Structure 1
Amino acid sequence: MSFDYGALDAALAAAVGDDQSLISELRTAFLESAKRQIDLLGRARCDANWEYAAWRLKGLAASFGAINVLQLADEAAHSAPGDPVILRKLERAITAIESRRD
């Protein structure tokens, strides 16, 4: 599966203009928050905790324009708690965003 993470970069640039320092800071905040929610997904053992973490990740992704992460978080919300396939997809998505750092 191929992802275009330009939406995240475009959303950050639209929000703060050409301030590369602020873009970097916001990108870092997004990645840290996303990793925290993915960790919570990985530790969730009941439907309520799983769905809560998935919805938080979905909201985070929506607010940052990370469309692919949003779609994966939505997929997670409809998956069984602890689903290793969706967890791997989410981890790969975050890794791909991290590797785009300039």
Structure 2
Amino acid sequence: MAYDNGALDATLAAAAGDDAALMRELRSAFLESALRQLDLLKRARCDGNWNVAAMRLKGLAASFHADDLLAAAERALNAAPGEPMVVREIEAVLHNFARPLRR
């Protein structure tokens, strides 16, 4: 499955301008927040906790125009708590977003 970071990168670039350090910091903050919500999703044992984490992830994705993450979060909202396919999809999207940080 291929993921496109274009909209996220454009949003971060609009906020950071030509400041590469700020761009890295914003990407890192985005990723840290998304990973925190993923952790909550993984630990959710009821519909309420699962939905709260999925909605937070969806809101974060929408705020940063991270379309792939937005779609994955939407699938999480329509899935049962702990659905492994949804969790793996979100992990893959976040892994892809993290790649530019490892350069």
**TM-score of the alignment, normalized to the shorter chain, above 0.5:** yes
1 CA distance for matches of 2:8 and 2:24?
A: 12
Deviating runs (4+, > 4 A) in structure 1?
none
Take 2:33 and 2:47, find their aligned partners in 1: how far apart are those partners? 21
- The answer for the alignment partner of 2:45 in structure 1 is 45
Alignment deviations for residues 12-51 of structure 1 (CA, whole Å, 9 cap, x no partner): 0112211111111110001100000000000001001000
Deviation by residue 1:44-78 (Cα, 9 ceiling, x = unmatched): 01001000000000001111111100110011011
TM-align CA RMSD? 0.9
* Cα displacement string for residues 67-102 of structure 1 (whole angstroms, at most 9, x for unaligned residues): 100110011011000000000000011111111334
Unaligned runs of 5+ in 1: none
**Aligned position for 1:24:** 24
2:12 counterpart residue number: 12
2:97 corresponds to which residue? 97
Q: TM-score, normalised by structure 1?
A: 0.95
- TM-score calculated relative to the size of structure 2: 0.94
Gaps of 5+ in 2: none
CA positional deviation for 1:7: 1.1
